[in-house]
Structures are given as structure tokens and as C-alpha cells.
Structure 1
Amino acid sequence: MGATNTSNLNSRMVTLIGIPGLENVQFWIGFPFFGLCLLALLGNILLLVVISVERSLHQPMYIFLAVLAATDLGLCVAIAPKMLAIFWFGSGSMAFDACLTQLFFVHALQGMESGILLAMAFDRYIAICDPLRHTAILTPLFLVQMVLIVAVRSTVLVGIVPILLKQLKHFRSLVIAHSYCEHMAVVKMAEEDVHINKSYGLFVAFAILGFDMVFVFFSYLLILKAVFRLPQKEARIKAFNTCTAHIVVFLEFYILAFFSFFSHRFGNVPPFVHILLSTLYLLVPPALNPIVYGVKTKEIRIWVAHIFIRKLNTQT
């Protein structure tokens, strides 16, 4: 399709094609993705319920986990309905402004998730390296302030992305080769200079993901240093065990995030591989996070077991 004026584009529809090269099997691909979404929704809702009801979990680590669960729910709601509509019903049409709205929420929630992982690393650092001051430092007011800073940072930095996209005047196509609206996928439709868009996208990625990853990594260097200074082996294992769930969640999020990010800009990865992995990057962490924390947290395991035992008793 020829170049399109911005004013016309804003009132027209773009088309998401799903996974390029796999259009014939997208219907079947939708089922495992639906399973991931369902697992993420049920798991994160359960986490929110358990943390809100169980008083022993009203601690900074689990308050951050509740915010992480809410963020994961938001990610699923932002991408799953439209993605499954494309896979199952071929319904890829979307208003350009709606596409920009989805783009904003997807990237803003990604940024919030990264920031919450950093906050959780800070909590573990204080708990292990300065345990006597943990309660004094991580007060309820401080927790609220940290969550607000994470939310505002992500909202402001990502909020400029759709504004810059709205400034583009000419597009070679209205077809987006993706299963959801993503910044670089929309940028690639443009038929003009997009250096500002690409540069700002890189800046946001490094200002949020890069910054957070460096400080999480630095926090764990200090945590490991403190753990290995403990005199008893049992104490070292117990201290490190409090961090294992966060380490697993941290690794799964950032490894998938940076592979998706760099393959879109610099790699020679086939489009269908990139889009499959970038979609999994958004769905796998929300599905796995409740499982990881459920397995590693005794209180959550007991509460969930209590729910199922009570349900079985009522049925019998």
C-alpha cells in the first residue's frame, strides 16, 4: 500500500497478521498460548488473594510480589484477547490509536515489571546485608513511594513512544507483522526517517531494563558476599534460599527480554522465531512467577493446599 498521511492513518485500521510464515498453523498455536494465559490469570489471582488474606505475608517482599502479580495480570489482559482473536478468528484489524494504546500498556507494564524486580532485589539486599534495619528502612510509606516511582518512571518514559509515532506522516503499509502492537513493529511500517524513534526506543530500553538489570546484578554480588561471610553452612543455605525464587524470576525475565530486544534490532533471526519468542517473553514469566513463588514459599503452599483440601471435603 502506498504512503499514507497521518491524519488518514489515525482514522483507519491497521492489520496484525500474527506470526509471519505460520499463518496456516496459528489456530493450533493459539491453544498453548491460551493455556499460558489461563495459567497466568489463575496463578496471579490466587497469589493476590493469598497475600491479601494471609497476614504472615504482609511483608515487603510479598507486597512487591503482589504488585508484580497485578502487573502480570495487566500484561495478559493487554495482549491475550487480541492475539487469540487473530489466531482463532483471523480478526487482525485494529484502529491505529487502539494499536498505540496497546503498545503503550505492553511496554509500560514491561517497564513496571522490571522496576518491581529491582525493588525486590533491594528488599533481599536489606534483609540479608542489614537485617536489623530491614523494618525501619522498608516502611509502608517507603514501599508506596518505591511502587509509585516505578510506575511513574515507566509511564513517563514509555508515554513518549506513542507520541513520537503519532508524528510520523508516511507509512508504506498498514500491515503489522506481529501478534500484538510493538514499538519496532510499528516503526518498520514507516516510510521516512525513523532514527529518533529507534534511538528513543533504545534509550528507554537501557534506561529501564538496562539500569534495573545492572543494579539487580550489583545487589546480588553484595548479597553473595554477605552470605559467604556467614560462619555456618546452614545459615548460608537458609539466607541464599530466601533469594532463589527471585533469582529464577529475574533470569527468566531479563534473558527473554534482551533476546527479544536485540533480535528485533540487530539479529538475523527469522521473523516467526522472533515473534514467537517475543510473545512467549510476555506470557511465560506471568505464568511461571506464581509457580516459582508458590513452590518456594511455605505460607503460600499451605494456604493453597488448605483451599484444595477444603474443596475436596465439601465435595465428599
Structure 2
Amino acid sequence: MLMLNKTDLHPASFILNGIPGLVDIQIWISFPFCSMYVVAMVGNCGLLYLIRYEDSLHKPMYYFLAMLSLTDLVMCSSTIPKALCIFWFHLKKISFDECLVQMFFTHTFTGMESGVLMLMALDRYIAICYPLRYSTILTNPVIAKVGLVTFLRAVLLIIPFTFLTKRLPYCRGNIIYHTYCDHMSVAKLSCGNVKINAIYGLMVALLIGGFDILCITISYTMILRAVISLSSTDAQQKAFSTCTAHICAIVFSYSPAFFSFFSHRFRGHTIPPSCHIIVANIYVLLPPTMNPVVYGVKTKQIRDCIIRILSGSKDIKSHSI
């Protein structure tokens, strides 16, 4: 009994077992995952490059977009490379500390993603409802401060996840039926009381996701009222068009996020584990993949910059020939 009390119940490592029930076809699942990851990396790095070097994009809206791109890069890179290693090379082992680090980065930057989308909604609200004061309200110092506060909020709320997970005793094996170290997937391996973990996870979801969605809803309600009051149909369409890309980003981010979060806690036996895990991966992969595509297509300034760069490179090639 004395020896049992002294036994360290933290496993040295976990085994990330991938997608249960679909192990035989994981190699085929990996190809769309890899393709989306490449698009996400190229697209978001391209957006960051454009915003950094194009003077016409040195505006609050694009600074927030740069925050979103940087967040997307970290969010998908914290999970997808490991998932591909599982699918392709069967490298399933991850140390306990590495698992906690992956958990921290994944949840921190998904929280950061939500916060940046909220800031972008406020940006659209100020741009449409207070156009003459837009540049004086959203100055560079203000943008830097709200970005820092959003990041610190995510960090401070997610750090307790690691401590709550580390304090648990693990005696139900070390196999995680997932492609990355999700908080509740790891906690459910414990033979201890995980009620605190579940309650705190729900609290964080409400403090981050609930608060951000409330702010986004209020912002778009005010935007809708302002747009409807415009007398010109062209002015209404122009105002709405500035919000299209952001609305798409909200849909891509929150739809799989809500499904993943609530199905993990309340799914019972109705949703297959494989479905949950695929959606959990889409949750961290779809927004980084689609955001640069949507903003590249829907935002005229970005589209013009891309066309100018491409036409410039063609001119250089034609001169060299």
C-alpha cells in the first residue's frame, strides 16, 4: 500500500491513436488534411507578406487580419503536423509534457481566434457606424493594446487547463483516441474526479466564446440598423460587402468549434468517436485554410495587390525573355 501511494500516476508518455474505426483509411484521410494545411500555410503567410509590405494595407482592418492569420498559423501548426506523422509514419508516441504543451497552444490560439474575430466585428462596427472617427478611434497603439489583451485573456484562461490535467492520476492506460492532446480527451483517461476539468472547460467556453459571440451579435445588430437607415441601395450593398468576408470567417470558425466542444461533453453514444475527431481536426484546420481564400476573393484591396504583384512578375518575365 505504501508503494502504491508513492507510485507516480503520471504516464511518461501517451499514445495518440488517431481516428478510431478508420485506422485502415487514415492514409487517405491524410491527403485532404495535408492539402488544406499547405493552403493554410501558403495563404496566411502570403497575407502576412502583403500586409507587411503593401502600404495601401496599413489600415486597422488589415492589422486585425494579420492577427487572425498569425493565430491561424500557430493554431493549425500545433496539431496537424503531429496528425500527419500519425497517419503516415505511425509516430503515435508523445511525452506527457509535450502533450500538455500541445494542449496549451491548441486551446490558447483557438481562444485567440475567437477574440480576434470579435475585434474584427468591432472594427466593422466602427467603420460603418462612425466612419469619420474610424482612424482616430482605431490608432496603432489601440490596436496593439486590444490585441495584447486578447492574447493575455486566452493565455490566462487556458493555463489552468495544464495544471488541472497534470494533477490528475492516470490509471486507465495511456492511449488517447485522438490525433492531438485535447483537454477532455486526456482528462478522461484519469481515474480521478474530472468534474472540475469539465466545469472549468465549460466556464472558459462561456467566458471566451460566449462573450465574443455576444459582442459580435451586438456589433452586427448595430451595423444592420445603420445600413438599413442608409437611403441609397448602392451604399447599403457597399456597406454589407465590407462585412461579407468576416461573416464567412465567423461561420467557418464557430460551426465546427461548437460541434466539437458540445459533442465531446454531451454526445453520449449518438455520435461516433471518429466523427467527433474528424470535426475536431476540421475545427483547427478549416478556418486557417478558408480565411485567406475568402479574404483574398472578397476584399478588393487584397485582390488588387495580388493582381498587381502577379502582373508585375509577368512583366519582369516578358522583359527577361
TM-score between the two structures when normalised by the length of structure 1: 0.95
Task: State the AA in 2 paired with 1:259.
Answer: F
TM-superposition CA deviations, 1:130-153 (whole Å, max 9, x none): 112111111111101100110000
What whole-Å deviation, never above 9, does each CA across 1:62-97 have from its counterpart, x for those lacking one? 100001000111012211211100000111100011
Q: Please state whether the residue corresponding to 1:94 is helix, strand or coil.
A: strand
State the match for 2:24 in structure 1: 24
Q: What code does the residue aligned with 2:136 have?
A: A
- Equivalent position of 1:305 in the other structure: 307
Classify the secondary structure of the residue corresponding to 1:14. strand
> Is 2:193 the counterpart of 1:193?
yes
Q: Which residue matches 1:223?
A: 223
Q: What aligned pairs does 1:142-157 form with structure 2 within 5 A after superposition? A: 142-157=142-157
Tell me the equivalent position of 1:74: 74
Q: Which moved more, 1:253-262 or 1:302-311?
A: 302-311
In structure 1, the residue matched to 2:10 is 9
Q: Which residue of 1 aligns with 2:94?
A: 94
Given the superposition, is the C-alpha separation of residues 195 and 300 from structure 1 closer, same or farther in structure 2, using an over 3 Å criterion? same
Note closer, same or farther for the CA distance 1:26–1:145 as it changes in structure 2 (3 Å cut): same
Q: Give the partner amino acid of 2:204.
A: V
Match of 2:14, SS state, is strand
1:295 to 297, 301, 304: 297
1:7 match: secondary structure: coil
| Mapped partners of 1:104, 1:169: distance in 2 | 19
Q: Tell me what 2:140 maps to.
A: 140
For the Cα contact (< 8 Å) 2:41–2:73, is it kept in 1? yes
Deviations along 1:14-59, one digit per CA (max 9) or x if unpaired, are 0000101001111111111000000000000000000111111111
With the length of structure 2 as denominator, give the TM-score of the two structures.
0.94
2: CA distance, partners of 1:73 / 1:82? 15
> How far has the Cα of 1:8 moved from its partner?
5.1
Give distance in 2, aligned partners of 1:45 and 1:121. 23
SS in 1 for 2:76: helix
Determine the C-alpha separation between the residues in 1 that align with 2:26 and 2:228: 50
For 2:193 and 2:85, the matched residues in 1 are separated by 33
Task: Check conservation: 1:17, 1:178, Cα contact below 8 A.
Answer: yes
Structure 1: where are the runs of 5+ without partners?
none
Offset from partner CA, 1:194-243 (integer Å, 9 cap, x none): 11011001111111011101110111011001100001111111111111
Q: Aligned equivalents of 1:111 and 1:77: distance in 2?
A: 15
TM-aligned CA deviation for residue 4 of structure 1: 11
In structure 1, distance between residues paired with 2:87 and 2:157: 31
The separation in 2 between residues aligned to 1:99 and 1:6, in whole angstroms, is 21
Q: 1:4 to 1:57 in 2, by over 3 A?
A: farther
Question: 1:5: how far off?
Answer: 7.9
Measured after TM superposition, the shift of residue 13 of structure 1 is 1.2
**How far apart are 1:311 and its partner, in Å?**
3.9
Task: Please say if residues 43 and 287 of structure 1, whose CA atoms lie closer than 8 Å, have aligned partners that are also in contact.
Answer: yes
Q: Distance in 1 between matches of 2:183 and 2:25?
A: 25
Aligned partner of 1:301: which letter? R
Q: Does 1:286 find its partner at 2:288?
A: yes
Distance in 1 separating the partners of 2:33 and 2:78: 14
Distance in 2, matches of 1:150 and 1:48, equals 19
Separation in 2, partners of 1:56, 1:305: 14
Residues 5 and 169, structure 1, Cα contact 8 Å, conserved in 2: no
Cα contact 2:16–2:92 (8 A) shared by 1: yes
Contact persistence 2:9–2:171 (CA under 8 A): no
Give the corresponding residue for 2:35: 35
**Which amino acid in the other structure matches residue 276 of structure 1?**
I
Identity of aligned residues (%): 46
Residue 305 of structure 1 deviates from its aligned partner by 2.2
Equivalent position SS for 2:201: helix
Alignment: residue pair count: 313
Contact 1:4 1:172 in 2 (8 A): no
Over the residues paired in the alignment, what is the CA RMSD in angstroms? 1.6
